Amino acid sequence: MSRNNSANAASRALDPANTITVAGVSPGSTTYLGPRLLLSTHGKADELMQQLEVVADRLGWTVGFDHDDRHSPQDECTCSGSRCQGPDGPLGITRLRLGVKARTAAPAPDGWLLLQHARAEFGADALTAVALDHVMTVTALESNPVENSNPVENSNPVENSNPVENSNPVENSNPVENSNPVGSPQSASHRSAGVMSYARLGSGGREPVTYAGARPTRRADDAIRGRRPVVAILDTGCGRHPWLDGVVRTDVTLDGHPIGDTNPITDPEVGGDHEGPLDGSIDPEAGHGTFIAGLVHQGCPDADILAWRAVSSSGRIVESDWLDSITQIAELARRHAVGQPGGHPIDVLNLSMGYYHETPDDVLFDPTLRGVLQVLSGSGTTVVCSAGNDATARPFYPAAFATEDSRDLVPVVSVGALNPSQRSVAMFSNTGPWVRTYAPGASVLSTMPAFQGGAQPTMRTRAHGHLRATIDPDDFRGGFALWSGTSFAAPVVAGRIAQQLVDGLPKKDTIPDAVARSRAAVSAVTADDRRTS
């Protein structure tokens, strides 16, 4: 069992108050991989590499192509990795690895410092195709299993009513801590008891629940006019569940090349305990993808679902790995839209994850991700993104791309979370003019793999031939759970958009018609969703 996480091992926090500064660049806090930079394949790769090498040499470092990367900028693209052919040429990124020069003692290589020195020497505008490799997180709220499994703590009604006591903000897997930990209102020291209460069992934290109703009704293929809508999910994958068997596919590839992580040993939807202490605790985001798939299925039972795994059970992913996967998905959608072999219809793509960019208002901001999203949107795919759980108005990407719109593209849909009454925005939800719509995201019910974690009922006994016990807080063998986060508001909207497309998708289509149809579906779903008081 692997207990290491590459996103944790080399991650560093950018603190704007203490970092090196350059005129014209106003950074915000973020988390990134220290010895790594990303080079957009849209840039002048040879010239940029020469500039970076000059600066790196002066700092006592080296910079070169990452040996683990599948492509250098000169390689021929086979659409199997981090570069794929879009309508205007290659898309994607190449990873650059920083090291220390031979026979040199130097500070640990740092992509941000190298990039800032290069900007100072060559100008910020000249380095727009070079970026940090951010650490991204999924957007679910989770409580501390140590605190919640303590029978003394849990049986005390005074302690139980205190949301601070019952959800430890340091140990919490909430991406407030993981995605933006330094020098911002989102840091742990600024989180309120109200925000953290959603991570506590009984107040929206991940917990088992019984569902006594009927499963969603899915019509037979011959009862569907045209083809079924297809909703794609890039997350922690999808586990087995009676509702989802025969509905979800996890084996779709691009030219035979797998998309995302396919290592069965670390699958967050199988077993549930791959990281952290050897205490049997279910990992913070284990089951996340299955939960999302269940919400999509509830919203549109007639939709087919594609699920790929790109996120570990800790909830973290390196941006470049994520870009590899989303670029391959964009290529599947593009090929289908233009009628090329090897494509697959994708009407909606759910992305319940994101990060805070350090320079979102500058010309330096992320041309690579924007380009990939435009390929998807230009192919008729609606990209639905969670807005983040940090109770802030700071733009969270890719959700914040929702402010951009064009008649030739389907707009990105950013989704914040509502409380169960749907009359108020959940306290944890990010908000702001960049959030397009809101949907239920607090204490929502959905499907879970049949996990049984290390926590135990607070009391157990036998009487009259029966085993009697209190609720086991991490026994999900009933197949359902409650959970909270904008991670789950997004697939609610994704399912609603897919439902708008049912019985209206022709076997053969044109790109303008597909874009117009998806734009109409987005408008129909989001028109009334700002109904909060």
In this structure, what is the dihedral angle of CA atoms 456, 458, 462, 464, given to the nearest 10 degrees? Answer: -130
The predicted structure's pLDDT at residue 9? 54
pLDDT digit string, tens, across residues 37-53:
988 866 578 889 999 99
Tell which wins on pLDDT, 173 or 281. Answer: 281
Residue 176 has pLDDT above 50, yes or no: no
Region 376-395 average pLDDT? 96
Work out the average pLDDT over 430-452: 96
Say whether pLDDT at 163 is over 60.
no
Q: Which amino acid is at 310?
A: A
pLDDT tens per residue, range 488-531:
999 999 999 999 999 999 989 999 999 999 999 999 999 865 44
The string of DSSP letters for 140-163 reads -B---HHHHT-HHHHH-HHHHT-H
The pLDDT of 210-224, averaged and rounded, is 96
Which of these, 125, 129, 132, lies nearest to 41 by C-alpha position?
Answer: 129
Nearest to 416 by CA among 302, 400, 405: 400
Residue 214: predicted pLDDT: 95
Question: What would the mean pLDDT of 444-465 be, rounded to a whole number?
Answer: 95
Q: How confident is the model at residue 378 (pLDDT cuts 50, 70, 90)?
A: very high
> Is pLDDT at 180 greater than 80 in this prediction?
no
CB atoms within 10 A of CB 168: 17
Q: Looking at the predicted structure, is the pLDDT value of residue 219 above 80?
A: yes
- How far is Cα 497 from Cα 300, in angstroms, rounded to an integer? 8
Residues annotated as catalytic (active site), given as ranges: 235, 288, 487
Q: What's the pLDDT tens digit per position in 240-296?
A: 999 999 999 999 999 999 999 999 999 999 988 888 888 889 988 999 999 999 999
Sheet holding 207-208, edge to edge: 207-208, 480-483, 444-447
Identify the structural domains of the chain with CATH numbers, from first to last: 7-135 (no CATH), 207-353+363-526 (3.40.50.200)
Say whether pLDDT at 185 is over 80. no
